[in-house]
Amino acid sequence: MTELSIAEQDFLANKTKLQIAKQDEANKRNDIANINRHQRDIKSELDKLNQRLTQADHAMANGDMTSDDYIALKRTIADKEYEIEVDGEVLAAQTAALQLLADHSRMLAERLSRQLDAVAGEVKQRALAASVAAGYQHLKTFALAVAAHHLSRHPFALQEKIAQAELAYRIIGEELCKAMFADESEAWLFMVEPSRAKSAIEEIISQSA
């Protein structure tokens, strides 16, 4: 197990906060879905009750509805209408609450993204130090061999010297990536889609905890 830095520990703590915030947001969405479902059910019931009300005179004429039945029907309709009204108010409040939770989740996600950039730098330096400590002479020999194999010019102008050094650094990076990844396309994807690399580093930090 790797001893995590304070920044990495803080990153993991905020990651947990984000997971909790996301779950709270999902729970709130579920609450809203339940309210909407309840409203639809009540409206369906209310439609049927109002249909009975429009036919009340015929029902009373046929002896199928008494005065008490009529009064009870009107009360039930009023109760359902009030229930729909209250549901609407609750829905508005829950929707506003959801927006607050979503804003909080987004703020945590943005903070976590910035933190990941920083802790990735720490992970990079730690991995580099460990690699050099474990194979310093081999890595140095490799870098010298790259220069001996790929470079032949002795530029005099400063810009040409810089360009040649940058070429060597690029070749070293390419060769190391090709050697470290069994599938060359995997290394390519990590470089052209940094989100893949960020996810991999995040997993490495989590596993090191």
DSSP per position, 140-166: HHHHHHHHHHH------SHHHHHHHHH
The average pLDDT across 56-62 equals 92
The average pLDDT across 11-34 equals 96
Q: Is 77's pLDDT higher than 80?
A: yes
The average pLDDT across 94-104 equals 97
What's the CA gap between 206 and 75, in Å, rounded? 59
Average pLDDT score over the chain:
92
Tell me, yes or no, whether 1 lies in a domain: no
Counting residues of the chain whose pLDDT is more than 70, the rounded percentage is 99
Tell me, yes or no, whether 129 lies in a domain: yes
Tell me, yes or no, whether 131 lies in a domain: yes
Contact present, 208 and 2 (Cβ < 8 Å) = yes
Q: Tally Cβ neighbours within 10 Å of residue 12.
A: 19
Tell me, yes or no, whether 118 lies in a domain: yes
Q: Is 170's pLDDT higher than 80?
A: yes
Contact present, 153 and 164 (Cβ < 8 Å) = yes
Tell me, yes or no, whether 173 lies in a domain: yes
Give me the pLDDT at residue 191, please. Answer: 84
Written as six digits, the tokens of 53 are: 């009300």
Look at residues 22, 46, 33, 43 and name the one whose alpha carbon lies nearest to residue 91. Answer: 33
Q: Is 2's pLDDT higher than 70?
A: no
Tell me, yes or no, whether 116 lies in a domain: yes
The average pLDDT across 178-202 equals 86
What's the CA gap between 52 and 78, in Å, rounded? 14
Q: What angle do CA 54, 57, 60 make, to 5 degrees?
A: 130
What's the CA gap between 119 and 14, in Å, rounded? 13
| List of E strands, 21-64 | none
Give me the pLDDT at residue 20, please. Answer: 97
What's the CA gap between 131 and 145, in Å, rounded? 18
Q: How many CA within 13 A on the CB side of residue 131?
A: 11
Domains identified in the chain, total number: 1
Start-to-end CA distance of the chain, whole Å, equals 7
Q: Is the pTM of this model over 0.85?
A: no
The range of the structural domain enclosing residue 120 comes to 6-208
Give me the pLDDT at residue 156, please. Answer: 84
The average pLDDT across 50-77 equals 94
- Helix/strand number for the chain, H first, E second: 6, 0
Give me the pLDDT at residue 157, please. Answer: 87
Tell me, yes or no, whether 70 lies in a domain: yes
Contact present, 175 and 144 (Cβ < 8 Å) = no
Phi and psi angles of residue 64, each rounded to the nearest 5 degrees, phi first: -90, -10
Tell me, yes or no, whether 188 lies in a domain: yes
